[in-house]
Amino acid sequence: MTMPSAPVAGAIQRARALLELSRPADAERELRGVLAEAPEHATAHAYLAVALDAQNRGAEAVAEAHEAVRLAPEHWFTHYIAAQVHRGANRLPEAVAAARASLALSPEEALTWEVLARAHLQAGQWREAAEAAGRGLAVAPEESDLASLLSLALSSLGDAAQARETASRAVALSPESPLAHLAYGQAALAAGDPGEAASAFREVLRLNPAFDTARGLLLTALKQRNPVYRVLSRLRERFFGRGWLVLLLPAMPGLIAAFVLIALLHWGAWVAEAFTTLRLARGKTTRLLFASGDVRLAALCCGLPVAGAVVLTLGAVTGLEAVATAGGAVMALVTPVQEAGHTGSRRARKLLYGWSALLAVAVAASVPLSSAPMALLTAYAALATIWIAAGVRRFLGT
């Protein structure tokens, strides 16, 4: 790598300090000054990539990281920075490749094992993440973040006991680490201990109030403490994604009953989800965990079964079959609304909300048309949204 002059070295040290203080724009200015004097300074390009990445300027950060690697391909640090920047840009295969290139040059760098483990975790590659974190711990056994990452991977692999033990070690190594407490909460949740998990996630938020992942997991843990919600969620997870069974329907018509059961289990779980969210949103200690949109969605999904039951009862009393069936369809709308609300991709969410609106229009139209079959088909379509939503998320993202 380029041997810096004293002024250049001082500027780079200032840039590093500014990055540690979370002042990436100021660090960028320092580094631009260095590069104006020494345009082929690999270290300056590497740190500039970090500064740009911290400002969510992914494409520029990647370009600077590539330039650093071009200028100093024989140094582990430039490849390590490239891995870090690629991971920040969600270019995970490139991040893994860069981390492995860095480790080929210097396998004793715990930081590189850490970024490799993080990239594998981000990609959902649990075994690879556990292996990378374990290799890193062999190099630096007192590194809390590596122990935390190993615990997170073990939780995802279903090894709750080992995950909890590893997370406990991470917390002991660094009691003020939000990541360590997050890993402990994840392990407790995997072990079926939502109370302990909630305590861990609260500690994460005490240490870092902006840790949104912990906020979402805390809500999950609090909901899991509700036994009805817990049972329905487990049943829903067990049967989720079995849409391929539809291919067997011509040969095994009895599977229709299984499909109906799966759809009803999902519907029940979504109702329990809405009720639990609304209850927690009214609690003094938990109300700040919810965005107003989450509360409105929960209120709507608690209101739909009530409104549907009223309409169904009215139809039964008056003998109007279409009205009674429309009441059942109104109740079924909980599934498409919740599926839309819990979809991360904006495009997929809009599409599913549009589908929900279309179903609502169909329910409303079935009453003046006195069409019970139309209302019934709408109810079936609403309940079947669990499979429709899975397909939408697969093509448009979660």
Residue-level pLDDT at 244: 47
Residue-level pLDDT at 392: 84
CATH architecture of the domain covering 1-106: Alpha Horseshoe (1.25)
User: For the chain, which residues make up each domain, given as ranges?
Assistant: 1-106, 123-225, 232-396
**Taking a C-beta distance cutoff of 8 angstroms, is the pair 117, 109 a contact?**
no
| Same fold across 1-106 and 123-225 | yes
Q: Round to whole Å and give the CA distance between 70 and 65.
A: 9
The CATH number assigned to the domain with range 123-225 reads 1.25.40.10
Number of C-alpha atoms within 13 angstroms, CB side, residue 308?
Answer: 21
Burial class of residue 398, CB neighbours in 10 A (0-12, 13-18, 19+): exposed
**Taking a C-beta distance cutoff of 8 angstroms, is the pair 268, 234 a contact?**
no
Residue-level pLDDT at 278: 86
Amino acid occupying residue 170: A
Residue-level pLDDT at 398: 54
Over the chain (398 residues), what is each successive 10-residue block's mean pLDDT? 66 93 94 92 95 94 96 96 94 96 96 96 95 96 96 95 96 96 95 90 88 79 68 57 48 61 83 85 74 86 95 93 94 93 81 95 94 93 88 72
CA distances from 223 to 96, 181, 187, 205, 270 (A): 35, 19, 16, 17, 12
Burial class of residue 285, CB neighbours in 10 A (0-12, 13-18, 19+): exposed
Q: What global pTM score does this model have?
A: 0.67
Helix spans in 282-397 (H): 292-318, 321-332, 334-341, 346-366, 372-383, 385-396
Tracing tokens 């929960």 back to the chain, one arrives at 298
Residue-level pLDDT at 109: 95
